[in-house]
């Protein structure tokens, strides 16, 4: 659950909702049995709500196909909605102590800068990450790599206080920063303010209070064009997050609405920045 939340939300913003989720859904089955609308409501504050639906769908699959127990196998993990390469590896390593490298945008920067001082293709980054794994304490090593990227080797790196500066090729050799175009490294997100993501958040916030007529939502989003309002509603409906009956709109899976989307298709799966 924490890895899905951490896909696109900072750790400091995940802690409180994560505790809330664990309390309400101590097992995958508890989440699967809850209406999607409740999961969407509890998701408030985390952003990118397709992840909430993916999590709910994954809980249902874990209940049906894996007897209510999160699978340990990497391929089984990858088969779950919303679980990409990064998330599967993180769960396998941190929860099940498997010998698999965790490769996300933070680790991608460290590999490109410190080890190679060149732009890395995804397959190269993966090969390097695997080759670096120690014989023991793999989870600890993975955590250290993630922290190195998150604390020091950031998009704007803090080389002067970095613990591996004396071993870093980019630091020693100089040249253009090799990280930005490396395969595992994500690009900066487009601004949230004024985006459709923000509008989707406003619609979902309103619907958490209860179903609305489209007329009421028109008032809620009166500062944007009718076409944009329709686009936002249609995208939420397409993602299986809201249900429209006539001109009445509600959260999917609420008493008034029934979830219209099945499990997210593979192409819809939410991926961590490093999963692309």
106 binds ligand SF4 (CB under 6 A): no
Of the residues 171, 208, 248, 276, which one makes contact with ligand SF4 according to CB under 6 A: 171
Residues in region 108-147 near ligand SF4 by CB under 6 A: 110, 113-114
Residue among 157 and 253 whose Cβ is closer to ligand SF4: 157
18 binds ligand SF4 (CB under 6 A): no
170 binds ligand SF4 (CB under 6 A): yes
Instruction: Say how many residues touch ligand SF4, by CB under 6 A.
Output: 14
The string over 45-81, giving b where at least 16 C-beta atoms fall within 10 Å of a residue's C-beta and e elsewhere, is ebbbbbbbbbbbbbbbbbbeebeeebbeebebbbbbb
CA-based torsion, 243, 245, 248, 253: positive or negative: negative
How far apart CA 6 and CA 4 sit, in angstroms, is 5
Of the residues 46, 142, 152, 203, which one makes contact with ligand SF4 according to CB under 6 A: 152
Active-site residue list: 3
159 binds ligand SF4 (CB under 6 A): yes
Helix (H) or strand (E) holding 251: strand 248-251
162 binds ligand SF4 (CB under 6 A): yes
168 binds ligand SF4 (CB under 6 A): yes
How far apart CA 70 and CA 204 sit, in angstroms, is 29
How far apart CA 111 and CA 178 sit, in angstroms, is 10
Residue among 113 and 212 whose Cβ is closer to ligand SF4: 113
Q: From 80, 75, 73, 78, select the one nearest 96 (Cα to Cα).
A: 73
- Give contact residues for ligand SF4 (rule: CB under 6 A): 110, 113-114, 152-153, 157-159, 162, 164-165, 168, 170-171
């Amino acid at each position: 659950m924490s890895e899905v939340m951490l896909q696109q939300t900072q750790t400091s913003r995940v802690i409180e909702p994560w505790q809330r989720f664990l309390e309400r859904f101590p097992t995958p089955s508890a989440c699967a049995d809850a209406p999607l609308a409740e999961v969407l409501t509890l998701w408030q504050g985390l952003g990118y709500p397709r992840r909430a639906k993916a999590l709910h769908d994954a809980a249902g699959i874990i209940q049906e196909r894996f007897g209510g127990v999160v699978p340990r196998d990497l391929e089984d993990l990858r088969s779950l909605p919303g679980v990409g390469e990064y998330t599967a590896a993180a769960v396998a390593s941190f929860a099940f102590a498997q010998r698999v490298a965790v490769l996300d945008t933070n680790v991608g920067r460290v590999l490109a800068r410190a080890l190679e001082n060149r732009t890395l293709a995804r397959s190269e980054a993966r090969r390097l990450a695997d080759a670096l794994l120690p014989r023991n304490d793999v989870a600890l090593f993975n955590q250290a790599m993630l922290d190195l990227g998150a604390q020091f080797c950031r998009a704007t790196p803090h080389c002067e206080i970095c613990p591996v500066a004396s071993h870093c090729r980019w630091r020693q050799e100089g040249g253009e920063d090799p990280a930005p175009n490396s395969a595992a490294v994500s690009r900066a997100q487009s601004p949230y303010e004024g985006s459709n993501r923000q509008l989707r958040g406003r619609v979902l916030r309103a619907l958490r209070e209860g179903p609305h007529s489209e007329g009421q939502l028109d008032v809620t989003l009166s500062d944007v064009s009718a076409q944009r309002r329709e686009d936002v509603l249609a995208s939420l409906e397409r993602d299986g997050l809201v249900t429209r009956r006539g001109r009445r709109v509600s959260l999917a899976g609420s008493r008034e609405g029934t979830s219209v989307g099945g499990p997210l298709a593979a192409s819809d799966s939410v991926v961590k920045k490093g999963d692309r």
